Structure 1
Amino acid sequence: MKPLHAFSLLLALCLEPPARARWSARRTPDPLEATTLTTVSEIFRGPLEGRRLSVMVDVDTEKSVDIDKLLSIMDDEVYLTRTGGEGDLGPEAFESELEGNIVEGEVPYENVSRELVVAGNIIEVGTTSNWASLHFYELPGLPPDVLVTLVDDQVPWPLVTPPPWWGPSTVLIISLSFQCTAARVFQMELVERTTWVAYLCPIQVPGDQPRFSVLSWQPFDPNQKLLSLGLWEPESFSTFSQLFIDRFKSMGGHTLNVASDDDDAPLLFLDENDEFEGTCKRILDALADTFNFTFTLTHGAPDYDTCNSQFGFALPRPPPLPQWRSLVYPFTWLVWAGVGGILIFTGLVYFLLTYTQPVSPDVSLPGAFGVIMMGLVNQAPTKIPASWSLRMFLAGWWITAYIIVISYNCNLIAVLTVPVYPKRIHTLEQLAVSHYRLCMLDYGEFVPDALLESAEPMMSSLGRKMDLVPVTDEGYYGQEDCAAHVLDDRNAHIETYAYLKLTYADMELLDSVYFMKAQIYEGNLAFFYQKHTPWRRVLDRGLQRLVESGFVAHWQNDIIDRYTKAGKVERDSSPQPLALGHLQGVFFLYGLGLATACLIFLVEYRLIKRKGHRVF
């Protein structure tokens, strides 16, 4: 048999004689004791098989059941807690975090190792008699999650007044008295704050061995009655869920009071009708419909907090590029260079091809380039070359020029109606090397220190450029000061991404800024419960389903999109007719052409006048 650990999560071990000497004079076990040992063995090999177990008994209970036999039928490691002995310190000694509350003692059972478990750590007492030699080591795996307690007339005090830092997830109570007091058992503090609870109560069966009745209790059941699951049979309670029913599958229409803050958009805030709205509100609505409860929200809670989402950056939207340059915006500079190179190459090739013909046409180098340029402005040459080689060459060029012209015209239409902006900053690397500093409210957030202490040079560079502004009680709590720095093209505003977008929407500044897609320091959104809330796991399952199904992300994006679109200026989305400003580039090019023509005219006029020819 594997060694069994003595579990003293709450109390000290008592100094008593060894177990064999103590039980050597015992009487023959009574029928209830035999039934108890058999039932415990069936439970440990059935619904609790493979679970991490701890056993709790009071010293007076050991008069009703042989603990040595009880431990001997267990195949897996368990942890033993004994209360009521001379060395028991009682609940007052364990109200704190057990600092210095370690009491040493002999283990009264030869098949139990000498160990103490305190606040999640094991304090191993050496197998020698050197009791002053104590050292800590972590428990392999997780601590026990199922507490099995045997109760008689004397109930172990941890069930009534458990330490505030201790709370098993599952409690199985086995009564050793035919006088069951189920109502008192289910009102014990440890039972009330435990999720999974089952109570085995013995009953007399005429002409047969005693049997155990399996009872449970649903705290939110409107009928407030004990729930009998039947008599214990290994076949009827072969799984954990059959023995420990879900006591909180329905909240029975009860009201949960939720501490909240109505100024935490997009999680929770007041809409235009002064009604609660937000992602958390929608989550609570879905959970309330599923688990049958109602809830109330508060407009402010000093002890309320949430874990933040990722931190994003707002930067000033750069002004549009000058409209008089609109004629060059349809193509990038690389495409313009490519088009220019093709023109030069095609013009030279066409000029050289003319001299390979049997009858060389009268075409100069400028004339060859003129023929090639005609294809880009939808002009045909006055005379088609007679050579088929030149005709095929021009046909290929005209098709290429036709495609270039169509692409240019299509892009030009878009450029004339949609403002063109310079390249923006979209990555943290670009932000780190830019002239922008960071701006953030000085409300004790970890981000400034985390950036400074980061081992990444890029992140530490951002931290060195951080400017903190004080928090105020008016307006947007000081966020408008950072917004002013952003509009002055000096800073990038850093804050939780969703809150940042909604804040700029409220300030009607969405048209003046843009938000980087790159974000830092992701954190989970969370609901906080009172410690040892028994129905927390029920709501956790509901929250997990909402997250995995995508509802939470959908609600969050829906709220952000709705309020940010409402904060944009309407003219951005309305059709705009072409104005004179959109055609600045055309008139600029036309004026440039007139000026060039005038210059050429003057040059020709002077040259002809010098030769003595009449101009007219």
Structure 2
Amino acid sequence: MYGYVEFMGRLKTQCGNCTEWMLRSDVAALPGAFKLTTLVPSLTILQSLLPVRLMCLWLDALTALVLGLLRGQDLLLVTDDHSQILLDVGWVVSVAGASYTHVILTSQHSLLHTSRPTHHTQGSFLTAILLFHHHPTAFLLLLADNKHWNPSYLVLFCLDQHLNTTTVLNQPVVQRSRFILLFQPTVQAGHTHLLAYTSRPVHHDKSGCSFTKTPLGVWSHDRFHSRQALFPPRFHDFGGQVLKLSVVCTNDQPFLYAAKNGSCTGGNSDAAHIIAKKLNFQVAYIDLEEVVWGSKQNGTWDGMFGELMYKGKDLVINSQDITADTISDFDWTYPYWENSYGIILEVPRPLPQWRNILYPFSSLTWGLVFGTTMVISSALALLIQRLHHVSDPIGITLQVAAVLLGQAMDHRKVRIWWVRVWLLSWWLVVDILAVVYTGNLMAVLTIPAYPSRIQTLQDLAQSHFISCMLDFGLFLPEALKSSSNPTLATLGKKMFLDPSFDRLDPTGFLLEQVQRGTHALIISYDYLIFIQRKKQLTRSTYIMDDKLYRTYFSWFLRRNTPYTTILSDHLTRLVETGILAKIFDTHVGRLIGEESQVRGDGVLNLGHLQGAFIVLALGLFAASLTLMLEHLV
């Protein structure tokens, strides 16, 4: 077995006279890549298939890549029948084995018909090397059916100088890779060279022809000394290409919404334009006539995702959730926004205002206050009567209890010291109770008292409220119905979906039902906050503490789009710098404007104080009844 240095040294010294080297009788002493006696019946046939000089160039490039420039990557080598005969790639793999985590050598047929883990066919740590002597059209068309085929680095070794490799590069399955390198031999001025190419299909010359096959130069160790030199960026500049965006400019503030002039604007639109300017592409908004977010029904996508998968759109930038279905069928950027589904309900009706005088204390507190007052005043009166023979214990009881209502008590009439100590402690407690009651009473009179609100999903499921959503194709209603959680399943079964919402005011009808106290609207939490403030419903509605389905928003592209990572990196940069959050805040402020609501008018009216007048009326009635009884007796 030969190491790379030993092999290359021998190759350089021998290839100066390749014909003489190949005609040596000591064929067994040559590297395994030249097992001519076992691979071909005669040297003449071999030389007719692949010139010796060209074979040396191929082995030089292949070993330089496998044993040097591609170290640290997982390696997948795929050969056709002829390349297997012409080059013993297995020898290169055996030498490279110790330098790679995974090295797989396979044939085209085996790759198509053998099930492999996804990390053997896709990923940023995988380099796939395809060696072919004949046009691989049939193989590539079959490979395109494998949606998991997407190595980030793809190297194409064409062993035939006459083969039209532009058609190879035009294959969609080839264009999936983020980086592409093509080697093809050529003869110039009688000398055989190995040319390197990449592919930049988004670039066009002045005549409009695409740079599908872009030359990088003649292969040499000096020119291609690093991985960056081998794999230059393909999408650092889109050359002014137009990306078609499938969007819904309704019901998605502040991410996307219709401006006054009818154009589509919003935070995501601004982000797309910033990235477009950086990467030199244009965006064209194709607004769906029907407001359908997009879901998978019976294996078929509709809405924006249907446009993306079946109708040639390039990008979806609405506030779309990452779900198992979207991950399976589309490319997606790194999440740019965390979100969840919020639930908005009507604020419960205020409690009756005539009970305001009771609200400062709970029922238990009132019971303790009155109970303590009765015990303290009665016990003191009884003790005084028994120990000091006081003739009016009822009067003493009333005087002690009256302190609770702010009535003064003449301490000069109390000349017994133990009674004074007793009363001192009682007055201190009463003073504290009076301050607390007065403070709470002021709050209750100015801020209405409400019954307890529903704040948990379990309470909502057990209540009379009907959960409702807009029916524009979200996954959530079906997910709730099929949930194994009883609470979520109950919410799903009670769900009302509004299919005929107004495009200009999509939540109008459902919010009316919320304000009637019959429905609970479920919608994206950020949008819920926005619409609550926009429609000035912050006093009449509230958003529950519990939320549904914590989720993340991403942009989505067609599966195996080669520039997904490029867009994702730029979008993530906007998130990390805080620019995207600032953009969203700007749009929210522009949409809502100045907050026009006032929490209260600051005036106490009769409704606030009716409790006191009711107590007065009851007191007068009791006094009148007592008067009548006294006269009757």
Tell me which residue corresponds to 1:327: 357
Question: Do the aligned residues in 1 keep the contact of 2:194 with 2:218 (CA within 8 Å)?
Answer: no
Paired residues in the alignment total: 534
Tell me which residue corresponds to 2:121: 143
Q: CA deviation at 1:495?
A: 4.1
Tell me which residue corresponds to 2:179: 196
CA deviations on 1:20-69 (whole Å, 9 max, x unpaired) are 73247457994553454354334334443353332234555557534343
SS at the partner of 1:295? strand
Tell me which residue corresponds to 2:221: 232
Question: Do the aligned residues in 1 keep the contact of 2:341 with 2:525 (CA within 8 Å)?
Answer: yes
Q: How does 1:451-600 map to 2 (within 5 A)?
A: 451-471=480-500, 476=505, 480-499=508-527, 511-545=539-573, 570-573=596-599, 575-600=601-626
Task: Give the residue type in structure 1 aligned to 2:117.
Answer: L
SS at the partner of 1:421? coil
Asked if 1:54 corresponds to 2:34, the answer is no
Separation (CA, whole Å) in 2 of partners of 1:249 and 1:159: 30
Tell me which residue corresponds to 2:247: 260
Asked if 1:163 corresponds to 2:152, the answer is no
Q: CA deviation at 1:344?
A: 3.6
Tell me which residue corresponds to 2:285: 297
- CA 1:403 to 1:293, structure 2 compared with 1: closer, same or farther past 3 Å? farther
Task: Give the residue type in structure 1 aligned to 2:272.
Answer: L
Separation (CA, whole Å) in 1 of partners of 2:465 and 2:490: 11
- CA 1:243 to 1:336, structure 2 compared with 1: closer, same or farther past 3 Å? farther
Tell me which residue corresponds to 2:62: 40
Tell me which residue corresponds to 1:128: none
Tell me which residue corresponds to 1:413: 442
Q: CA deviation at 1:259?
A: 2.0
Question: Do the aligned residues in 2 keep the contact of 1:265 with 1:498 (CA within 8 Å)?
Answer: no
Separation (CA, whole Å) in 1 of partners of 2:261 and 2:562: 36
Separation (CA, whole Å) in 1 of partners of 2:380 and 2:228: 88
Question: Do the aligned residues in 1 keep the contact of 2:275 with 2:570 (CA within 8 Å)?
Answer: yes
- CA 1:327 to 1:150, structure 2 compared with 1: closer, same or farther past 3 Å? same
Question: Do the aligned residues in 2 keep the contact of 1:312 with 1:515 (CA within 8 Å)?
Answer: yes
Q: Which runs of no fewer than 5 residues in structure 1 stay unpaired?
A: 2-17, 83-102, 104-114, 123-137, 611-616
Separation (CA, whole Å) in 2 of partners of 1:343 and 1:579: 32
CA deviations on 1:454-483 (whole Å, 9 max, x unpaired) are 322223333443445552567646x55544
CA deviations on 1:516-558 (whole Å, 9 max, x unpaired) are 2323344543323234321111112334455677776776677
Q: CA deviation at 1:304?
A: 1.5
State, as a whole percentage, how many aligned pairs show the same letter: 26
Task: Give the residue type in structure 1 aligned to 2:129.
Answer: V
Tell me which residue corresponds to 2:14: none
Separation (CA, whole Å) in 2 of partners of 1:298 and 1:565: 29
Q: CA deviation at 1:326?
A: 1.4
Supply the RMSD in Å over aligned alpha carbons: 4.7
Tell me which residue corresponds to 2:106: 80
Farther off after superposition, 324-333 or 505-514 = 505-514
Q: CA deviation at 1:195?
A: 0.8
- CA 1:556 to 1:588, structure 2 compared with 1: closer, same or farther past 3 Å? farther
- CA 1:464 to 1:193, structure 2 compared with 1: closer, same or farther past 3 Å? closer
Farther off after superposition, 185-194 or 486-495 = 185-194
Tell me which residue corresponds to 2:367: 337
Task: Give the residue type in structure 2 aligned to 1:323.
Answer: Q
Asked if 1:247 corresponds to 2:230, the answer is no
Task: Give the residue type in structure 2 aligned to 1:80.
Answer: T
Task: Give the residue type in structure 2 aligned to 1:298.
Answer: I
Q: CA deviation at 1:226?
A: 5.3
Question: Do the aligned residues in 2 keep the contact of 1:439 with 1:469 (CA within 8 Å)?
Answer: yes
- CA 1:139 to 1:532, structure 2 compared with 1: closer, same or farther past 3 Å? closer
Tell me which residue corresponds to 1:280: 268
Asked if 1:398 corresponds to 2:427, the answer is yes
Q: CA deviation at 1:261?
A: 1.6
| TM-score scaled by length of structure 2 | 0.68
Separation (CA, whole Å) in 2 of partners of 1:455 and 1:489: 28
CA deviations on 1:116-163 (whole Å, 9 max, x unpaired) are 544xx62xxxxxxxxxxxxxxx538553542213466x5533798673
Separation (CA, whole Å) in 1 of partners of 2:363 and 2:166: 84
Separation (CA, whole Å) in 1 of partners of 2:521 and 2:579: 29
Task: Give the residue type in structure 2 aligned to 1:197.
Answer: I
Separation (CA, whole Å) in 2 of partners of 1:558 and 1:364: 74
- CA 1:70 to 1:397, structure 2 compared with 1: closer, same or farther past 3 Å? same
Structure with more of its chain in strand, by fraction: 2
CA deviations on 1:368-392 (whole Å, 9 max, x unpaired) are 4532441552745453744444444
Tell me which residue corresponds to 1:314: 344
Separation (CA, whole Å) in 1 of partners of 2:518 and 2:503: 24
Task: Give the residue type in structure 2 aligned to 1:143.
Answer: T
Separation (CA, whole Å) in 2 of partners of 1:443 and 1:417: 43
Separation (CA, whole Å) in 2 of partners of 1:66 and 1:200: 18
CA deviations on 1:561-596 (whole Å, 9 max, x unpaired) are 875787x8x454464322233222233233333333
Separation (CA, whole Å) in 2 of partners of 1:66 and 1:353: 115
Q: CA deviation at 1:184?
A: 8.2
- CA 1:335 to 1:562, structure 2 compared with 1: closer, same or farther past 3 Å? farther
- CA 1:202 to 1:385, structure 2 compared with 1: closer, same or farther past 3 Å? farther
Tell me which residue corresponds to 1:15: none
- CA 1:203 to 1:388, structure 2 compared with 1: closer, same or farther past 3 Å? farther
CA deviations on 1:299-346 (whole Å, 9 max, x unpaired) are 336642464564443333322222221112222323323333443444
Task: Give the residue type in structure 2 aligned to 1:53.
Answer: L
Separation (CA, whole Å) in 1 of partners of 2:194 and 2:392: 114
Tell me which residue corresponds to 2:297: none
Separation (CA, whole Å) in 1 of partners of 2:538 and 2:458: 24
SS at the partner of 1:259? strand
Task: Give the residue type in structure 1 aligned to 2:155.
Answer: L
Question: Do the aligned residues in 2 keep the contact of 1:159 with 1:188 (CA within 8 Å)?
Answer: no
Separation (CA, whole Å) in 1 of partners of 2:340 and 2:64: 51
- CA 1:384 to 1:36, structure 2 compared with 1: closer, same or farther past 3 Å? farther
- CA 1:360 to 1:471, structure 2 compared with 1: closer, same or farther past 3 Å? same
- CA 1:474 to 1:37, structure 2 compared with 1: closer, same or farther past 3 Å? closer
Tell me which residue corresponds to 1:91: none
| TM-score scaled by length of structure 1 | 0.70
Q: CA deviation at 1:171?
A: 0.9
Q: Which runs of no fewer than 5 residues in structure 2 stay unpaired?
A: 2-34, 206-210, 291-302, 306-317, 322-338
Separation (CA, whole Å) in 2 of partners of 1:311 and 1:275: 28
Tell me which residue corresponds to 1:134: none
Asked if 1:270 corresponds to 2:253, the answer is no
SS at the partner of 1:517? coil
Question: Do the aligned residues in 2 keep the contact of 1:529 with 1:536 (CA within 8 Å)?
Answer: yes
SS at the partner of 2:357? helix
Task: Give the residue type in structure 2 aligned to 1:67.
Answer: V
